[in-house]
């Protein structure tokens, strides 16, 4: 095992992110039945711990599901929105599109607010759209992992509050780095394997208890938010088998984030992102989004004659995993600077990129 822990792969894909050896090791525990009180106490600590990275959670709970992030998004949308509710979904990337797909499959009454994938939303246009539609709920992705674009929760929540619209925010790639606030989003959804730097397999919904109690419209046994909430409240358990070891890893990841501090994690990611962007630009790459970008993901245009597969293979062989990402038909790839890595890893990656280009030129 120690040999495996020695090998350091640098994941630059937008999650699952690199985790520390400490988090990896936390998964190795004596066998335990998840219906034991000892495990329930662990779940309770994790649930409470996840709340601490969000502001204004005094009357809130964090409901855990076994499953990837999409599961919690589907559970929240399908449980909160009844056949009498109206929903607007902001769609400016693959994850906004996924919410639309969920709404379609669950036959929710929804309208799409479409916006450019590489440019910030026109908030005035959104305001007009919301005034016209008057939905009960507005669903959106806070940090659109497709492009790295940030949809400004502060600005959007101001519009929504005036019109008495509840916000359901997919915060998968902003949670545990950006400071989130239940005053700016009524429902916050995230997962265990991105900025929180835990192992994949858990997703969760954070909202005030009143909202969680009202989430009773699910037409699926498993994706029932209110039932999962009530069961957890009573028993400190998930209704169905939890990913036991993943819970222990997430517990360790929470302690790590508390030790580092949310603000410092933001600063670490911000520094990596800055060095990455500057490095890419100085190597002559075009980096998107040009405005409205967060500090999590960068979309990079492949240069003419540069093949993604070849680049991916070259980087992977040297310990760096990059991620494909055609956006609006453009030939791009994506770099996420999240996880248990820092700006030194980014500098090494930029060196690899430089070498790759050098070799490419030498071959020609
Ligand atoms: C990662 C991610 C998800 C969830 O994807 P899964 O593959 O189900 O974990 C949802 N929304 C956004 C914005 C994401 O970045």
Task: Render pLDDT for 249-259 as a digit per residue (tens, 0 to 9).
Answer: 999 999 999 99
Task: Render pLDDT for 210-225 as a digit per residue (tens, 0 to 9).
Answer: 999 999 999 999 999 9
Pocket test for ligand 1, best of 145, 178, 194, 203 (most atoms within 8 A of CB): 145
Share of the chain above pLDDT 90, in %: 95
Say which DSSP state 118 is in: T
For residue 291, the model assigns a pLDDT of 96
Closest atom, ligand 1, to C-alpha of 143 = 13
**In this structure, what token pair is assigned to residue 124?**
């005035």
pLDDT reading at 275 higher than 80: yes
Domains and CATH numbers, the chain: 2-14+261-363 (3.90.1150.10), 21-259 (3.40.640.10)
CA of 174 to the centre of ligand 1 (A): 11
For residue 1, the model assigns a pLDDT of 65
Q: Range with the lowest mean pLDDT among 23-27, 95-99, 358-362?
A: 358-362
Count the alpha carbons within 13 Å of 281 in the hemisphere toward its beta carbon. Answer: 11
Element housing 130 (H / E): helix 123-133
pLDDT reading at 36 higher than 90: yes
Task: Render pLDDT for 276-302 as a digit per residue (tens, 0 to 9).
Answer: 999 999 999 999 999 999 999 999 999
Q: Is 190 in the pocket of ligand 1 (CB under 6 A)?
A: no
**In this structure, what token pair is assigned to residue 177?**
């780095």
Q: Is 10 in the pocket of ligand 1 (CB under 6 A)?
A: no
**Mean pLDDT in the chain?**
97
Q: Is 298 in the pocket of ligand 1 (CB under 6 A)?
A: no
Q: Is 74 in the pocket of ligand 1 (CB under 6 A)?
A: no
| DSSP structure string for 190-253 | EETTSTT---SSEEEEEEEHHHHHH----SSSTT-HHHHHHHHHHHSS-SS---HHHHHHHHHH
Which residue shows structure tokens 């394997």? 193
Closest residue by Cα to atom 12, ligand 1, is: 172
CA of 336 to the centre of ligand 1 (A): 13
Q: Is 91 in the pocket of ligand 1 (CB under 6 A)?
A: no
CA of 172 to the centre of ligand 1 (A): 6
């Amino acid at each position: 095992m120690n040999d495996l822990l020695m090998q350091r792969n640098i994941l630059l894909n937008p999650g699952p992110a690199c985790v520390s050896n400490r988090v990896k090791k936390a998964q190795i525990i004596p066998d335990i039945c998840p219906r034991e009180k000892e495990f329930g106490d662990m779940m309770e600590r994790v649930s409470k711990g996840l709340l601490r990275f969000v502001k204004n959670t005094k009357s809130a709970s964090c409901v855990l599901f076994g499953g990837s992030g999409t599961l919690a998004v589907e559970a929240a949308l399908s449980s909160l929105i009844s056949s009498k509710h109206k929903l607007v979904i902001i769609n400016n990337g693959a994850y906004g599109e996924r919410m639309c797909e969920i709404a379609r499959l669950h036959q929710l009454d929804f309208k799409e607010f479409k916006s450019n994938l590489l440019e910030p939303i026109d908030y005035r246009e959104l305001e007009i759209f919301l005034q016209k539609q008057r939905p009960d709920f507005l669903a959106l992705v806070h940090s659109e992992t497709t492009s790295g674009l940030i949809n400004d929760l502060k600005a959007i929540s101001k519009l929504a509050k005036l019109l008495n619209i509840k916000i359901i925010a997919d915060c998968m790639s902003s949670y545990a780095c950006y400071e989130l606030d239940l005053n700016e989003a009524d429902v916050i959804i995230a997962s265990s394997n991105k900025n929180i730097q835990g192992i994949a397999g858990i997703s969760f919904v954070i909202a005030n208890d009143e909202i969680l109690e009202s989430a009773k419209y699910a037409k699926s046994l498993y994706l029932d938010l209110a039932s999962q909430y009530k069961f957890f409240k009573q028993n400190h358990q998930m209704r169905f088998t939890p990913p036991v070891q993943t819970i222990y890893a997430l517990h360790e990841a929470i302690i790590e984030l508390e030790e580092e501090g949310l603000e410092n994690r933001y600063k670490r990611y911000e520094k990596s992102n800055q060095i990455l962007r500057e490095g890419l630009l100085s190597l002559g790459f075009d980096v998107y989004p040009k405005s409205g970008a967060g500090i999590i993901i960068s979309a990079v245009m492949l240069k003419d004659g540069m093949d993604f597969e070849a680049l991916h293979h070259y980087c992977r062989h040297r310990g760096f995993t990059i991620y494909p990402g055609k956006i609006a038909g453009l030939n791009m790839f994506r770099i996420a600077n999240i996880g248990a890595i820092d700006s030194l890893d980014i500098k090494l990656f930029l060196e690899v990129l430089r070498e790759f280009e050098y070799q490419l030129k030498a071959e020609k």
